[in-house]
Amino acid sequence: MTTLTGERPAILGGTPVRTTDYPAWPVWDERERDLLVGTLDAGGWWQGDGDVAAAFATAFATYHSARHGLALTNGTHTLEAALAACDVGEGDEVVVPGITFIASASAVLAVNATPVLVDVDPETLCIDPAAVEAAITPATKAVVAVHVAGAAADLDALTDLCARRGLRLVEDCAHAHGTFWRGRGVGSWGDFGSFSMQRSKLMTAGEGGVLICNDDELRERAWSYADCGRQAGEWFYHHPNYGSNLRMTEWQGAVLTAQLERFPEQNERRNTAAVALGAALDEIEGVRPQRRDERMDSQGNYCYVFHYDAEAFAGLPLRQFEAALGAEGIPMGVSYPSLNELAIFRTGNFGPRLRASAPEIDYSSVRLPVAEHAAASTVWLQHRLLLAEVEDVLDVARAVSRIQQHAAEIVSTTGSTT
């Protein structure tokens, strides 16, 4: 990799490493347009009137090595339907990792169960199986394992643990379209795999979600929950179960059909770029790419994540490092706070949930040292940059080097407080 030694960082008035932007997201073309117009002309815009969304969900499930796929509204509702189908409800505990989006825990609240927050692996940032085991009580019913930024949680350990302890495993794959673990798609290992197709995700219709599974009975239960508690093959107004309306529209199915056709090539491109970027960042003291477990065949990189050690950057705080990287033209994201640090858990303000069975957990005293540290020391980059040519992707490492060379000056010019 050629470096840019000596150039002043953009945050100090130099020319940015990148003067042209990375590829935009989302990506679409005539195929999305044709499928949308086809749906319009067909007149069946509701999932019950067409077969576009359902066919997409089945194709997506097949791609991820699962038998069944349900086309639902979003990746929060997919988790809710999965937990409901696993008969998780009032009085049950569900183990959830600290590093994730709120939905991994709010879906637990949605079925009126209690989220139990546990720590993560310091290198992959995914749920730590030992922490799960330590958190199990007689009330524990399920585990939500999040594949953070597409890095797979340790599925060997988790499937073994859940089988041994009689727990349901729901894989939250909102970040992990295209992550394969020992030859099989993530989401097909647990009882359910839950995917989001929201705007920022690796394939998108603005909003959307797919729930995959292998078990016929679980599929029927999740389908019923997502379709107003109906029963397949019965009269439209026969509602034997409690359920909600979590159905995707045909419009979303049309867009996602085209997104899925394009996906394998994009996934390969992102993987090649991510591996090259990892090798380049490995050369720089004080940064360390999120660990890619060697049991993964590929990683759907929802974000590109690396650990940052301010010590190696003259004490430059993370937020200022991110600002400096952004100034170099690198598309920045940001880590989630650890769930235990969110106001909802600090205050226990669960709205209509858990009123009769207030959880015994005092969330304000829950500490997740690894997750809290990771939230304050990891850099998250937008996945769209991984669609560029590898040389362009390596500009990230060039920008990091440049900032490091001038870190002391950035600290003295902009101050060292966040």
Ligand X SMILES: Cc1ncc(COP(=O)(O)O)c(C=O)c1O
Instruction: Please identify every residue annotated as catalytic.
Output: 101, 172, 175, 198, 201, 230, 237, 247
- Interaction of residue 374 with ligand X, rule CB under 6 A: no
- Which residue among 100, 114, 338, 404 contacts ligand X (CB under 6 A)? 100
Degrees to nearest 5, angle at CA 168 with 304 and 139: 115
Give the span between the Cα atoms of 396 and 5, in whole angstroms.
14
Residue from 32, 93, 172, 191 touching ligand X (CB under 6 A): that is 172
Report if residue 249 touches ligand X, rule: CB under 6 A.
no
Cβ-contact 277, 304 below 8 angstroms? yes
Q: Residue 224 in contact with residue 25, Cβ under 8 Å?
A: no
Q: Which is nearer to ligand X, 74 or 378 (CB)?
A: 74
**Angle at 209 (CA atoms; ends 40, 161), nearest 5 degrees:** 160
Query: Edge to edge, what strands does the sheet with 192-196 contain?
Result: 68-72, 209-213, 192-196, 168-172, 140-146, 93-97, 114-118
Q: How many residues bind ligand X (CB under 6 A)?
A: 14
Residue 104 binds to ligand X (criterion: CB under 6 A): yes
Token pair 């390596």 is at which residue?
A: 394
12: exposed, middle or buried (Cβ count in 10 Å: 0-12, 13-18, 19+): middle
Residue 163 near residue 190, CB atoms below 8 Å:
no
Q: Which span sits near ligand X by CB under 6 A: 18-26, 37-45, 101-109, 238-246?
A: 101-109
- Region binding ligand X by CB under 6 A among candidate stretches 61-69, 83-91, 96-104, 120-128: 96-104
Say whether residue 301 binds ligand X (CB under 6 A).
Answer: no
**What are the tokens at 334?**
């940001």
Q: Is 76 near ligand X (CB under 6 A)?
A: yes
State the binding string over 130-149 for ligand X (x if CB under 6 A, else -). ----------------x---
Q: Do 368 and 118 contact (CB within 8 A), yes or no? A: yes
Pick 146 or 310: Cβ nearer ligand X: 146
196 binds ligand X (CB under 6 A): yes
Shortest CB 208 distance to ligand X, Å: 7
CA distances from residue 322 to 116, 193, 247 in whole angstroms, order as listed: 31, 32, 38
Question: Which region among 24-32, 99-107, 113-121, 162-170 touches ligand X (by CB under 6 A)?
Answer: 99-107
CA atoms of 57 and 280, how far apart (whole Å):
37
Question: Is position 230 an interface residue for ligand X (rule: CB under 6 A)?
Answer: no
Among 101, 181, 223, 321, binds ligand X (CB under 6 A): 101
Cβ-proximal residue to ligand X, closest one: 75
Q: Both tokens of residue 32? A: 């999305």
Q: Which residues contact 400 (CB under 8 A, 6 or more apart)?
A: 281, 284, 287, 325
Position among 114, 124, 198, 404 found at the interface with ligand X (CB under 6 A): 198
Q: Are 251 and 36 in contact (CB under 8 A)?
A: yes
Tokens matching residue 372: 């809290």
Shortest distance in whole angstroms from residue 103 CB to ligand X: 4
Q: Is 209 in the site for ligand X (CB under 6 A)?
A: yes
Return d(Cα 277, Cα 206) in angstroms, integer: 28
Stretch that binds ligand X, among 24-32, 51-59, 71-79, 262-270 (CB under 6 A): 71-79
103 near ligand X, judged by CB under 6 A:
yes
The DSSP symbol for 18 reads -
CB crowding 158-167: b at 16 or more within 10 Å, else e: bbebbeeeeb
248 is a site residue for ligand X (CB under 6 A):
no
Q: Which is nearer to ligand X, 205 or 410 (CB)?
A: 205
Using the minimum distance from each CB to ligand X, give the nearer residue, 107 or 287: 107
Q: Does 192 bind ligand X (CB under 6 A)?
A: no
Binding to ligand X by residue 80, rule CB under 6 A?
Answer: no
Which residues form the interface with ligand X (CB under 6 A)?
Answer: 74-76, 100-101, 103-104, 146, 172, 174-175, 196, 198, 209
